[in-house]
Chains A and B, each alone.
Chain A
Amino acid sequence: MPDPRTTRIFRSFPAVPGQRVQLFVTCLVDLLYPEVGERTVALLERLGCEVAFPAAQTCCGQPALSAGYPREALAVADGFLDAFADTEGPIVAPFGSCVHMVRHHYPRLYEGERATVAAGLAARTHELSSFIVDELGRSAVGGRYPGPSGTVVAYHHECHMRYGLGVTEAPMSLLRGVAGCTLVEPPRGELCCGFGGTFALKLGDVSVAMADEKLDSALEIGAQAIVSSDVGCLMHLEGRARRRGLQLRVHHLVDLLEPDGRL
């Protein structure tokens, strides 16, 4: 049964043939980077998916869990379960860390019947690049760098994607299909950028030192732009780059996967 909350939205639209995908936009994308959400929808539709957006979704609850408030995290995670439990098809998010929350933490946070629901949702939830490469079987989707041709781009692997989900190859595969930029691999690329949710507030100096090391390693290798699949890292790195007055552009991966390179 389709979710009644989404059918109301879709009633006015002709059904797009192809796989039905539930967009889990994530709160940071929703509130701070809405255009990343829009580009995610456009990309998935271009790949033949029918995108639904369960309107009751809010946040996965990760900020509270990481900060040491599991009860509060569960209250918000309950909302995710309610929003997505009755939907069909894969759940896709343009944000690796939130996917890690759903896939790794949800099955451990719940008990009994809710744990079964959580495990079911965990198995259905995918990070965008790995969904495209591993589930849709598309190793490249084209795209053009939205800026000067030949821009030197460094990809920042977000830690929960790398260490938690084990996704490192999918975003690189998609990036290799992007025209108009040169990919470089910065030294010490596996280091965390220092975001880490409330960590960035509580240990601000350490977090900033970590961002500086990340930014410096990108500059060291001549990168002019940093690309990632996590708007937490992006917000952190761009916020720091701006404070330092660095000439370094920051993009979400989907920004580069638009076919015409326009933003």
Chain B
Amino acid sequence: MSGLVIEPPRGKPDPAVTPNLHRAAENWRLHRADARRRVDWEAWRERARQVRADAVRNLPELIELLEARFVAAGGHVHHARDAGEASAHVVRICQAAGATRAVKGKSMTSEEINLDAALAQAGIEAVETDLGEYIVQAMGDRPSHILAPAVHLSAAQVADLFARESGRHFDPDDTAALVDYARGVLRERFLAAEVGITGVNLAIAETGTLAIVESEGNIRLATSLPRVHIALMGIEKVIRDWEGAAHLIQMLPLAAHGKPAAASTSFITGPARDGDDGPREIHLVLLDGGRSAIRGTPFEEALHCIRCGACLYACPVYRQVGGHGYGTTYSGPIGAVITPLLARGGDASELPGLSSLCGACVEACPVKIPLDDQLVMLRAQAHRRDPARGEAALFAAWARLWSRPAAYRATAATAGRALRPLWSALARDGWQHRAPFPFSGWTDGRDARVPDAEPFHVRWRRRRGGA
């Protein structure tokens, strides 16, 4: 079972999370301004797009190269067609290693494949070690942002959680004390774990190297203390060479936080050499999960995503509904695009509707994915698969009328003149406050402007003395 779609989208403002989201989004805006001061942003975006486009266009070849180099460096590669296969690989590797305790670095791909459930079922305890992930896991919650899993929570909620766990008191303003507590708990887990499970930010095919960025040091620990490291990645994360990697590894934190480098970046090529500290075994699980099927379609650019989270921060809808409002693992504009593509089921067809199509996501995207155009195409695709009959009939009737000038002018006259008594009954100062479905969707929260008795085209004819 994939974890792509968790529940139907709520699509409602969530007042419990909006203050936290707004604060985070405004911080991100400041960071973004930093990023644009630091580098020639447009040139950097174009370069990043080219690196990703090269990777996705040549995916089979690059995956083959990555596998060969990864194995040559002493690693093991496992291919997974879908979520179930990917989880099964991870469980099998853990079992072969005789492991019952695992630590996890933040990995959205592990959420996508619903890995925690598979591990739990196999009796393997997996503890999240990214602070935000640890918090949402301990709360029985789930990440609400690709990069900042606990962005929807306040410090007070975290202080409450830690107080419940430890029986101690925490002051929400004392972030250092909260972090210290988590560090203490996690340190023991790191030392006890037999397996470290992480995601991958990008994989460099030419040397078989995995690159993982982080800000907390937990990835370093998860990939060096346990004797087995399992890295899980979507196949599209591969890139050709170190030149491209050097660019993307700066672009990712620039887009996410306005900084040209993450606090820590790990480049991992093979297991520990003899005498070195580090894992004796390293496994790479390559998840297709519907990605190959997107190549060569009009949606191919969605695979360019580097999971920086910028489109979520930029999105005015995400800002209101929060990540959980989408009901998916991947939320925000990129989530509304890739979830229906990867899930390929009708259950994600409403997601592309969670956008006002303003284009802020496109402007924020460090690899220039045309998210707004893709959302529009996905809406059309959803209608072709599962026609919403009432709406389709309305648009068909509308198109029949408005594709003909005479009929258009007739509807204008009807709306502006024939229906005038109706507007007068419902309206005040040319604005009405109630309307029948589907226009009630408007008047529930806003007054509606009443059509003018004299449209412009009538005024023009009169003014110009024409027909």
Which residues does A use to contact B, with CB under 8 Å?
8-10, 12-13, 25, 27, 29-34, 37-38, 41, 53, 55-59, 63-73, 75-76, 78-79, 83, 108, 159-160, 162-164, 188, 190-192, 194-197, 199-211, 213, 235-236, 238-240, 242-243
Contacts and interface: CB of A to CB of B under 8 A. Distances in A.
A31 B455 contact: yes
B3 to A, nearest CB: 24
Interface string B368-411: 00000100101111110000000110011011101111001000
A159 B359 contact: yes
A205 to B, nearest CB: 5
24 contacts: A10-B464, A12-B465, A25-B457, A31-B455, A32-B452, A34-B456, A37-B456, A55-B457, A58-B408, A66-B379, A68-B380, A72-B395, A75-B399, A75-B403, A190-B360, A192-B358, A200-B446, A206-B317, A209-B18, A235-B449, A238-B431, A238-B447, A240-B446, A242-B446
B467 A8 contact: yes
Contact of B13 (A32, A199, A206, A236): A206
Nearest to B459: A34
Contacts of B7: none
- Judged by DSSP, the binding face of B is helix
B19 to A, nearest CB: 12
A196 B358 contact: yes
Given A202-B353, A205-B445, A194 B316 contact: yes
B408 to A, nearest CB: 4
Interface in B63-89: none
A64 B398 contact: yes
A79 B403 contact: yes
A205 B13 contact: yes
Contacts of B465: 12-13
A158 B381 CA distance: 27
B466 A160 contact: no
A196 B376 CA distance: 12
**What is the interface residue range for chain B against chain A?**
35 or more
Q: Which of A13, A66, A239 has the most chain B CB atoms inside 10 A of its CB?
A: A239
A206 B456 contact: no
A9 B460 CA distance: 9
Contacts, number: 211
Contact of B399 (A12, A27, A76, A243): A76
Contacts of B431: 238-239, 242
Nearest to B388: A68
B26 interface: yes
B50 interface: no
Contacts of A203: 11, 317, 353-354
A67 B60 CA distance: 36
Contacts of A159: 356-360
B461 A9 contact: yes
B464 A9 contact: yes
B380 A34 contact: no
Given A190-B360, A199-B357, A208-B445, 8 more contacts: A31-B416, A34-B455, A58-B402, A68-B352, A68-B378, A203-B11, A203-B354, A238-B447
B447 A243 contact: yes
Contact of A204 (B352, B357, B433, B441): B441
